[in-house]
Amino acid sequence: MKQYFITGTDTEVGKTYVTCQLLQAAQKSSLSAIGYKPIAAGCEQINGEWVNEDALNIQKACSKIRANIAIKITDNNELKSVNENNEESGQTLPLHQINPIALKPAIAPHIAALEEGVALTFDEIAKGLDELQAYQPDLLLMEGAGGWRLPLTVGDEYTPAYYLSDVVKTLKMDVILVVGMRLGCLNHALLTAEAIRADGLTIKGWVANDITGNMARYQENLHSLKAMLPEPLLAEIPYQVAPNDEMLFAAIKQIS
């Protein structure tokens, strides 16, 4: 099983869209794939449940799951554990497993959590990850909220601030960086990548996501990022156009 943390240069840069595209491309490549968005702020009530739209999109993009693991005999007469996530008889992952911490107001999660009396802790996030790992998908993508240094607590004179990036550091997850292609993205991308590396983590690659469709000198900015970021460009996502399948398949090959 391969697992990655999906972060972005800012909020609203297309982390969820990229996550869903990678999940779907993995399944088209005959891999089982599950997404996890532990914290989401901004929900509406649907059928008595508080639902975040991003989490709902990830749920739709995930493989079907089965609780049991089948065993098959390989061509070499060896026993192999096989995850049956892609079976048509499988079930859709419950939304509360994909998004265990769903905060109602669309504001900074640590502020929303304080208002709702919810604790944003490592244990809660890791517990949800453990539950999804038990399904043994080929690919597990954990999507962050906001940018890399998202605060879970701001700390006080006795306790330091605690960030979502601290959770990722403890879990030792490799990172995929989504760069929202707009004015200012060069600075945002370089600073974010620098912070990730300073935290001792590996950036597996980055995705250029055109989020406006009208960025001046788009290609020149993309060329600049390619020159300054040593990590590979996994995919380039056009504005409001479905990305090329072959490009996504190549990205999946690099991360699986």
Give the CA radius of gyration of the chain. Answer: 19
Name 110's Cβ contacts closer than 8 Å, sequence gap at least 6: 120, 151, 152, 153, 154
CA distance 204 to 185: 19
Residue 59 is encoded by which pair of tokens?
A: 């749920």
User: Which residues are annotated as part of the binding site?
Assistant: 12-17, 54, 143-146, 209-210, 240
Cα–Cα–Cα angle for 199, 138, 172, rounded to 5 degrees: 15
Active-site residue set? 37
CA distance 120 to 122: 7
User: Which residues are annotated as part of the binding site for Mg(2+)?
Assistant: 16, 54, 143
Q: At what angle do helices 185-198 and 218-228 cross, to 10 degrees?
A: 20
Residue 189 phi/psi, 5-degree rounding, is: -65, -45
Q: Are strands 151-153 and 139-143 parallel, antiparallel or unpaired?
A: unpaired
CA distance 105 to 111: 9
- Which residues, in sequence order, are bridge partners of residue 73? 79
Residues 164 and 110 sit within 8 Å (Cβ to Cβ) = no
In this structure, the number of other CB atoms found within 10 A of the CB of residue 75 comes to: 5
CA distance 10 to 149: 10
User: Which residues are annotated as part of the binding site for ATP?
Assistant: 12-17, 54, 143-146, 209-210, 240
